[in-house]
Structure 1
Amino acid sequence: MKKQVVFGLLLASVLVFISGQDDDDYLEPPTVLIALLVRNKAHTLPMFLSYLEQQDYPKQRIAFWLRCDHSNDDSIDILQTWLEHSADHYHAVNYVLEPQVRSYENESSPYEWPASRFKHLIALKEEAFQYGRNIWADFVFFLDADVFLTSKDSLKTLTRLQLPIVAPMLISESLYSNFWCGMTEDYYYRRTDEYKEIYHVKKQGSFPVPMVHTAVLVNMNHKAIRNLTFDKNKLVEMQRSRQQEPLYDGPADDIIVFAISANSSGIPLHICNDIIFGYILQPLEPGDSLDNDLQQLVNIRGLMVNDLGAVPPLLDYYKNLAKKPEKSKLSLDRIFMINLKRRPERREKMEQLFEELGIEAEYFPAVDGKELTTDRLQEMGVRFLPGYEDPYHHRAMTMGEIGCFLSHYSIWVMMVRKGLKEVLILEDDIRFEPYFRQNAVRVLNQARGAVNYDLIYFGRKRLKEESEPGVTNADNLVHAGYSYWTLGYVISLQGALKLLAAKPLHKLIPVDEFLPLMFDRHPNNTWSEAFPKRNLVALSASPLLLYPIHYTGDSSYISDTEDSQQINVDTSEEGEARLKSDREQVFVQEEECTLDQQLKLGESLPKSHQEL
């Protein structure tokens, strides 16, 4: 039996004991007892403790119960630093730090869960639970140190719900979270449609579920709470005394036993997604290493930048522990990020992402369509493809689209002038998929070894349900079909030469229409005939490595190409309506990619309780 939810390298169950009510005017604000059962979590503790410190909740009603053992990193030192600086701010801190014991007997890895480790963890959690009962806490909050409660309103929101057991929904990579929507008869994860609805907040609120873990708030005032346990033997004794059949015969796993003990006592468990509470790392397997956890941390910090605009700051006395990956060009000559000078907020966000992910990218000032005029375009020799009109809006090109094309065009020209062999071009409103750096290098190496490519889409929108054959001897590449978007692509020097040789400024169309024309997968034959040499070798990463942050209809969606002045030319041809900025289309061929193919690209292996 593998550990269903590993408390990291850590026996890290943070128990937060809270005594308080759901009203703004707390008569007795909660006491938070954080029972940290820490093991080898020096790399997450500074963030974990910093975000707890920033909770908008009365510290004098928060008490901590901390235990750190079987740890051979700097976890104890980090906890001691926190105790020195912050312990006096809280109602009480009860802690035991044991540096002598560093591993479990017969343990092959810090990520292994032998029976002795389960037994020790369960005993400590039972002890902490009893401590909560003894101090008459109104709430007990079980937290893992792999949790980052970035919302300052987390405790306040959860306690106001007054539910018997509730967990804040936490975000991770690959749809992983801290709840199940289905459980099999033998107590393992079962996939349900409702899971994605809750995770993607298609419905919002608090929902009954069969399992919550890693961050769990227990209302100690509920009449049946005294029956809750993490101990399998206690659960079976309780069931036997009530003559409940069948008796629990599942694994001696603390979170499963806890869930079944709640079910046996008629206590519902809920997951809440009312706000973005925070983030969670995935559990590690025995064969994993610390590097796996550190890379997860990179992914999570990238998610924070996307969702929150920045990674929330650490406490001042932990800032010297902040580490970011070394910058990399991903084995390319240069990486450019195109950005309008009047969009500094986008540039700032992208530069934060580059810092967090370790990407050495250069700012490339975009040509601003708002500064273009008809006279200026004539001076540049720009002419437009006769008969072109936007396939969706049935209009001529906008100045924003012209500026976008000229921005990409300028980079192609620079590549030729400087002899740059491979360049990644990024736009400024994108989100990177987890493990972007590793997967980008893998895709590039596959392309170099398989075909003499000109262009590789890292992100795109497929527009036609058509065959996209895989690239021979490449696991994560397909030959690209009709696609929109230029939000991220690699172009070779040979590819740049081909694009420039087509003299696109003499018959201009939007850049994301021009590219599929050049690799001869565009459905408009009239436009294609204007570019007789259509031999660009265009590939696409599969699965994709990046996506837009915003789509048409999103509250934060802004389009500098659509929201700009149109050029004044005659248009006559009818085109098939296609919404350029809508969400990407996913066709059957992509959905049926094998699990083996996904795992070759993704660094995150499936866990027994993970939504894949």
Structure 2
Amino acid sequence: MERSASGEASKQATKPASKRVPSATTSTMSPCSPALVLLPALVLLVLVSVSPAGGYFAEEKYPEESEMQPPTVVIAIIARNAAASLPYYLGALERLRYPKDRISVWAATDHNSDNTTAILREWLTAVQKLYHYVEWRPMDQPVSYVGESGPKHWPASRYEYVMKLKQAALNFARKRWADYILYADTDNIVTNPDTLNLMIAENKSVIAPMLDSPGAYSNYWCGITPQGYYRRTAEYFPTRHRHRLGCFPVPMVHSTLLLDLRKEGMKALAFFPPHKDYSWPYDDIIVFAFSCRAADIQMYLCNKERYGYLNVPAKPHHTLEDDSLNFVHVHLESISKHAM
């Protein structure tokens, strides 16, 4: 049977209200009592006292940032009738103390009457898995240039083709966003395995390691005439003989040089075509020196250490046999100097 609401209400009204009598162990506290405020602090104190030495929440340790990877480098190889020096040249490149997976190789060969193509192809096939990328551009025919009187003669057609090859290598490096490109002639033997790292550490836009030869010849000029020809200065021999050491601004470096493509001004540099205002001799190294000058890029030569050696340029009438014997002489001279 349901109870009426009025009945329940009447019972509640007649029932006396009960009072709670505090016991001796019970205290009455308002919400704002100081004891209630202190309670959380006491609990926290207990938790801290039983937590590990490092705190209740163990301090998180984050790993340190890893080191930056070495810059990416393109090595440009332009070979012609270089069978005598290629084994030494390629071996020196392999021995560079630089991560090969950060190096791309751009290799071209042309107009050969010896077995340069076969040697270079065999080497590239053997090492291509070690390097980041390999670009191979062989040209077997023809074996001579228009107007050429011999394999060591440089007509204008040969200068122009070499300029185009160097420009193609530069375009390749830029397209692949390489940080540096290293040009090294195939009769330039870089014997110091730290050369690449040392040149990068100098932080120059265009820099060359000074290479040795049996005579006064090297891969730089200390002076240049207003017409673009070589001019020897008082600084040449003290630099060449290492009576003064350092990295020096010079108007010309050639044969082996490193370009820092990260620098803003390097976008204007070119091997080909020559600058619109160019009127100097039609020579690949002079064309590039003019390009640097026009772009306000300073070339530098570094002779702080011994980096390697280079062959003395052959005369136009020399044969391949003459050039090979000359290279052997330079190579033996280098060995004897390093052995002393």
Fold-level similarity (TM above 0.5): yes
Amino acid aligned to 1:254: D
| Counterpart amino acid of residue 285 in structure 2 | I
* Identity score, percent: 38
SS at match of 2:293: helix
More displaced 10-residue stretch of structure 1: 102-111 or 60-69:
102-111
Say whether 1:304 aligns with 2:331. no
Distance 1:26 1:95 in 2: 32
Question: Which of 220, 234, 237 lines up with 1:193 in the alignment?
Answer: 234
Q: Does 1:156 align with 2:197?
A: yes
Distance 1:224 1:292 in 2: 41
Aligned match of 1:317: none
Does residue 275 of structure 1 match 2:292?
Answer: no
Deviations 1:178-207 (A, max 9, x none): 000011111111111211111111111100
Q: Is the 8 A contact 1:141 1:217 kept in 2?
A: yes
Task: Give the deviation of 1:214 after TM superposition.
Answer: 0.2
Question: Does 1:125 find its partner at 2:155?
Answer: no
2:295 is the alignment partner of 1:254: no
- Correspondence for 1:412: none
- Displacement, 1:109? 0.5
1:110 to 135, 151, 154: 151
Matched ranges for 1:160-559 at <5 A: 160-231=201-272, 233=274, 235-236=275-276, 247-309=277-339
Amino acid at match of 1:197: P
What SS does the aligned partner of 2:70 have? coil
What is the aligned counterpart of 1:28 among 55, 69, 80? 69
Segments of 5+ residues of structure 2 without an aligned counterpart are 1-65
Task: Give structure 1 regions of 4+ aligned residues with deviation exceeding 6 angstroms.
Answer: none
SS at structure 1 position matched to 2:279: coil
**What's the secondary structure of 2:128's corresponding residue?**
helix
Deviation at 1:26, TM superposition (A): 6.2
Number of residue pairs aligned between Structure 1 and Structure 2? 275
Q: Matches of residues 527-606 of structure 1 in structure 2 within 5 Å? A: none
Q: Check if 1:45 corresponds to 2:86.
A: yes
- Secondary structure of the residue that 2:73 maps to in structure 1? coil
Deviations along 1:362-381, one digit per CA (max 9) or x if unpaired, are xxxxxxxxxxxxxxxxxxxx
Secondary structure, aligned partner of 1:285: coil
Matched, 1:58 2:99: yes
Q: CA deviation at 1:222?
A: 1.2
Secondary structure of the residue aligned to 1:157 is: helix
How far apart are 1:124 and its partner, in Å?
1.4
1: distance between equivalents of 2:273 and 2:234?
30
The answer to whether the 8 Å contact 1:31/1:91 transfers is no
Aligned residue number for residue 119 of structure 2: 78
Alignment deviations for residues 417-439 of structure 1 (CA, whole Å, 9 cap, x no partner): xxxxxxxxxxxxxxxxxxxxxxx
Whether 2:99 is the aligned partner of 1:69: answer no
**Cα drift, residue 163 of structure 1:** 0.5
Larger radius of gyration: 2
| Range moving further from structure 2, 275-284 or 223-232 | 223-232
Q: Tell me the alpha carbon deviations over residues 357-405 of structure 1, each in whole angstroms, 9 at most, x when there is no partner.
A: xxxxxxxxxxxxxxxxxxxxxxxxxxxxxxxxxxxxxxxxxxxxxxxxx
SS in 1 for 2:332: helix
TM-score, structure 2 as length reference: 0.77
How far, CA to CA, are the matches of 1:252 and 1:305 in structure 2?
Answer: 35
Partners of 1:85 and 1:200 lie apart in 2 by 38
Task: Check the 8 A contact 1:33/1:93 in 2, yes or no.
Answer: no
Letter aligned with residue 219 of structure 1: D
Amino acid at match of 1:55: L
